[in-house]
Structure 1
Amino acid sequence: MWRDPGAPADDFYQVRPECTDVPKSKFRIKAGKTLSVRKWQAAFSPEGYLDISKTLSRIHRGGIHPSIRGEVWEFLLGCYDPKSTFDERDEIRNRRRAKYAIMKEECRQMFPLIGSGKFITAPVITEDGEPIHDPLVLQEANLDMASINQGNDCAHDPRDKKVIQWKLTLHQIGLDVHRTDRTLVFYEKKENLSKLWDILAVYAWSDIDVGYCQGMSDLCSPMIILLEDEADAFWCFERLMRRLRGNFRCTESSVGVETQLSNLASITQVIDPKLHRHLETLGGGDYLFAFRMLMVLFRREFSFCDSLYLWEMMWALEYDPDLFSMYEEPEAAAEKSEGSKGKPKSIRQYGKYERDNMRNGGKSSEAPLPISVFLVASVLKDKSPKLLTEARGLDDVVKILNDMTGNLDAKKACTGAMKLHKKYLKAKKQ
């Protein structure tokens, strides 16, 4: 979504005037540090090969100018290979848009509200898959029973457990869409809310093992704003979920993010043993109080603008040039022309955080921890004096962490995370 390059960052994510309690952004574009339109365009060869190493350090120093944020994110999240040409990316983009259209039509056949410009916040079927005849439900959907039952004629059996599971999530998606980023002027238009609902509904069907979980709307919302084409926004979100879907995988006994909470406990025990002991004494040794920070990547702790700045810094620091080939389907990867491989990868093409892992053997011995875990550890370390002196119970811990909402500095948090990461790797070697 291209806009005036001279506009200040906050103009892209306007907050409704009446929302006075919304955290103010601490991030401002700084000349010479931010990845500008000019610097971004200069990083491409005439054929379209991208020198990703030129952009990573600049993103880490000052983020990305809002007018190019969407297209840069597509590279950072592995939607495109930096070694591809303009023509190859156009081909991939068109192929993905066609694939999204097919998936969306499949969903529309099962539930005709998909793609209608509307969305639902009420249940439409029972746990057994029976349509709900409540007039209020039908009124909200603006559908009659014939439309609700349209799925009977589609390729999927409406009694199929997968279909029932998917339809049961639709109203929860609607409830979350209705309250996601509603302070932003962008979401005053119902069609934008509907676009968010459509993408999440299609994703829930495409990833039936995880489906939809609360928090995904917070992760998807920026994609809708940054990428004008709905299909492009979907694939950007899908790539982000490749990283994060493990957080949302639930079993009868555990939630996926618990693994990261366990890692957070181990890190804090190494870098701030006194705080760790204090939290254990308070009954917080499972670190569940940090659940939300990891689940939605600080979307609630930072202003909208600052959270985007934080994300792109994280992705630049963690960047791996093999992302595209790891994510792309094997048959699609095999179709890549031999001439698009470009120069061999060098360590400069990796993000700084990833380079540190490689130098310390983390990449070969075990899967490296995501930088988000060290970001939370950095926040806890920063709040350690307050937590040690004022927290007399878990409620106090939660209150102290909630009080920092809107008062965090994204650049400071990332810098702190990198320092703790080095300290942790050093301690593990000893």
Structure 2
Amino acid sequence: MAEYSGYSDRLTRSCSFDSTFEQILPPEQWKIYLSKDSDIKRGQKLDRSTFNGFMDTDGRLVDVQSFRQAVFRGGVEKDVRRDAWAFLFGLYPFQSTRREREVLSMEYHYRYEALKARWKALLALTTPSSDALENGTGETYLSRKNTLPSNCPQPNPTDCRCGQTEGGKSSSNGPLHSAMKTSEDQKLQMECMELQARIYAEREPLDIDNLESFRKSIRIIDKDVPRTDRDHPHFKGPDNPNLSRLRDILITFAVFHPEVTYAQGMNDVLSRFFVVMDSEVESYWCFTIYLETIYKDFLEDGMLHKLEILQQMLQEIDPLLYEHLAQCDIGDLMFCHRWLLLCFKREFPYEESLMIFEIISSQHLELSSETAERARDVARARDFLKGGGYKRIHAGVVRTDFTFELFVCTTILYDNRKALMECVDSATVFQYVVNGLSYNLDLQHVVCLAEKMLLAYCTASAVKDSFELVEHESD
């Protein structure tokens, strides 16, 4: 157990028969104990051979649970990450075949180009010519001559991955390959896909009466993009073309998601996808699919709600630490905002930040997951046997909003509670947590402890309430 020195004033009371005598009471017991005999074992990184083993002969990722578990246990090898993330973040359905992904890849390409062309054309028509080049809306941006995928014999190919397998090798038996044996067939296929993409883009809502809001988002994006991971090789150096691609992705997302638009921090989320996917098109779609699931975190009410849930979790797991932070005027846990918004990107070195991102996004271990339910079942069974087989544990409501990322936050606080308990005000908490922990955390230790804490919480919550098992006599 952790030390409680310095807090005896909270844990004493006068003896009832002698006002001059003080009795030191044991501290309030924490509601979760982490047993030392149940150390969590981490696994190896997901390699190419294991990744391919999850697929059938047509390229469907059929063993989804094992795939998610492998990502959670050890992360993903660098040379596999691009293909694994395509499934993990919803770019391709798990049950899609290689041939179906070839077609999807082309559709993604044309749709993105159509969306980008639409907002650029709109701004070009409403922007004075003197500002067109500065805003990136000049006529050169409106040409469609660069909209053909890379496996087509056309000038200026893009980075579309059509006709490729997961290993990056060209596929010679895909439907597009066989359908494009002649240049005429190829031309018709491309024109059809391009037309469908333009129809798709025109149907996407775009509020032309809200152009000033678009321009405001662009101005903020233009300030944030140059500051994005400037030490990373992908974005280092003056006039780096990847920064322009980041800009186009962020503007395209903001324009066609007016309920969210752009918020600071999105550039840091996007840069991860851009580095891993190494494709403007695929980065846009992975980023968009991901943001559509967590966009509330970028809204003030959404993040405040998540911080409130974190407060509730810390109150349950470590009430003494929560009370102390509240006395330091930091009980709102606002210093965890950056951790949650960027998924701990600034707390670990870059490669490890990619790993914690994919581990959390694997969704293998949540309170609603099969692993957590199995832990609760074991706890209920043990408690049932301890009671002589006469009490049945009542299945209470599962706090599915206690997500694994919140357990990671609580783990970091729990693991550094001794130093935090020595802080006397919010300034020292910020100085220690925000500045002191950054890049000084052990990723494997944090993830192991977070897993252990989640499973311990499952056990504790499963045996809170019980009801008598009544044997009814048969009629």
Same fold (TM over 0.5): yes
Distance 2:286 2:368 in 1: 22
Q: Assess if the C-alpha contact under 8 Å between 1:174 and 1:197 holds in 2.
A: yes
Amino acid at match of 2:418: P
1:40 equivalent in alignment to 2:72: no
Distance 2:371 2:307 in 1: 22
Distance 1:142 1:90 in 2: 31
Q: Which residue of 1 aligns with 2:76?
A: 64
Q: Which residue of 2 aligns with 1:322?
A: none
Q: Which residue of 2 aligns with 1:168?
A: 216
Distance 1:87 1:352 in 2: 36
Per the TM alignment, residue 161 of structure 1 is displaced from its structure 2 partner at its CA by 4.1
Q: Which residue of 2 aligns with 1:217?
A: 267
Structure 1 residues 143 and 265: alpha-carbon distance in aligned structure 2, compared to 1, 3 A threshold: closer
Per the TM alignment, residue 167 of structure 1 is displaced from its structure 2 partner at its CA by 1.5
How many equivalent pairs are there?
Answer: 339
Distance 1:76 1:103 in 2: 24
Per the TM alignment, residue 75 of structure 1 is displaced from its structure 2 partner at its CA by 1.1
1:181 equivalent in alignment to 2:216: no
Distance 1:425 1:197 in 2: 43
With 277-286 and 158-167 compared, the bigger mean Cα shift is at: 158-167
Q: Which residue of 2 aligns with 1:298?
A: 344
Q: Assess if the C-alpha contact under 8 Å between 1:270 and 1:424 holds in 2.
A: no
Per the TM alignment, residue 299 of structure 1 is displaced from its structure 2 partner at its CA by 1.1
Distance 1:419 1:405 in 2: 23
1:394 equivalent in alignment to 2:405: no
Q: Assess if the C-alpha contact under 8 Å between 2:307 and 2:333 holds in 1.
A: yes
Per the TM alignment, residue 384 of structure 1 is displaced from its structure 2 partner at its CA by 0.5
Q: Which residue of 2 aligns with 1:274?
A: 320
Structure 1 residues 208 and 232: alpha-carbon distance in aligned structure 2, compared to 1, 3 A threshold: same
Q: Which residue of 1 aligns with 2:87?
A: 75
Per the TM alignment, residue 411 of structure 1 is displaced from its structure 2 partner at its CA by 2.2
Q: Which residue of 2 aligns with 1:380?
A: 413
1:236 equivalent in alignment to 2:286: yes
Per the TM alignment, residue 395 of structure 1 is displaced from its structure 2 partner at its CA by 0.9
Deviation track 1:121-177 (CA, whole Å, cap 9, x = no partner) reads: xxxxxxxxx9799x9x78855889x999xxxxxx99999443221221101112111
Q: Which residue of 1 aligns with 2:384?
A: none
Structure 1 residues 93 and 185: alpha-carbon distance in aligned structure 2, compared to 1, 3 A threshold: same
Structure 1 residues 139 and 79: alpha-carbon distance in aligned structure 2, compared to 1, 3 A threshold: closer
Distance 2:445 2:367 in 1: 16
Q: Which residue of 2 aligns with 1:328?
A: none
Distance 1:159 1:209 in 2: 11
Deviation track 1:341-399 (CA, whole Å, cap 9, x = no partner) reads: xxxxxxxxx8797224555599985644331111111111111100002x111111111
Distance 2:332 2:447 in 1: 24
Distance 2:271 2:286 in 1: 11
Alignment of 1:18-417 (within 5 A): 33-50=44-61, 51-112=63-124, 141=135, 160-188=208-236, 190-250=240-300, 255-316=301-362, 318-319=363-364, 354-359=369-374, 360=376, 367-389=400-422, 391-401=423-433, 402-417=435-450
Structure 1 residues 108 and 365: alpha-carbon distance in aligned structure 2, compared to 1, 3 A threshold: same
Per the TM alignment, residue 196 of structure 1 is displaced from its structure 2 partner at its CA by 0.8
Gaps of 5+ in 1: 1-30, 114-129, 149-154, 320-349
With 358-367 and 396-405 compared, the bigger mean Cα shift is at: 358-367
Q: Which has the higher helix share?
A: 1
Structure 1 residues 281 and 306: alpha-carbon distance in aligned structure 2, compared to 1, 3 A threshold: same
Gaps of 5+ in 2: 1-41, 142-201, 378-394, 465-475
Q: Which residue of 1 aligns with 2:190?
A: none
Q: Assess if the C-alpha contact under 8 Å between 2:368 and 2:400 holds in 1.
A: no
Q: Which residue of 1 aligns with 2:173?
A: none
Distance 1:363 1:82 in 2: 32
Q: Assess if the C-alpha contact under 8 Å between 1:49 and 1:84 holds in 2.
A: yes
Amino acid at match of 1:354: S
Distance 1:421 1:198 in 2: 40
Q: Which residue of 2 aligns with 1:28?
A: none
Distance 1:235 1:142 in 2: 21
Percent identity for Structure 1 against Structure 2: 25
Deviation track 1:256-286 (CA, whole Å, cap 9, x = no partner) reads: 1111111111111111111000011111121
Q: Which has the higher contact order (CA 8 A, sep 6+)?
A: 1
Q: Assess if the C-alpha contact under 8 Å between 1:314 and 1:372 holds in 2.
A: yes
Deviation track 1:10-52 (CA, whole Å, cap 9, x = no partner) reads: xxxxxxxxxxxxxxxxxxxxx9811112221232211112122
With 350-359 and 267-276 compared, the bigger mean Cα shift is at: 350-359
Q: Assess if the C-alpha contact under 8 Å between 1:195 and 1:224 holds in 2.
A: no
Distance 1:287 1:366 in 2: 20
Rg larger in structure: 2
Distance 2:448 2:57 in 1: 35
Amino acid at match of 1:259: H
SS of residue matched to 1:186 = coil
Q: Assess if the C-alpha contact under 8 Å between 2:313 and 2:402 holds in 1.
A: no
Amino acid at match of 1:37: R
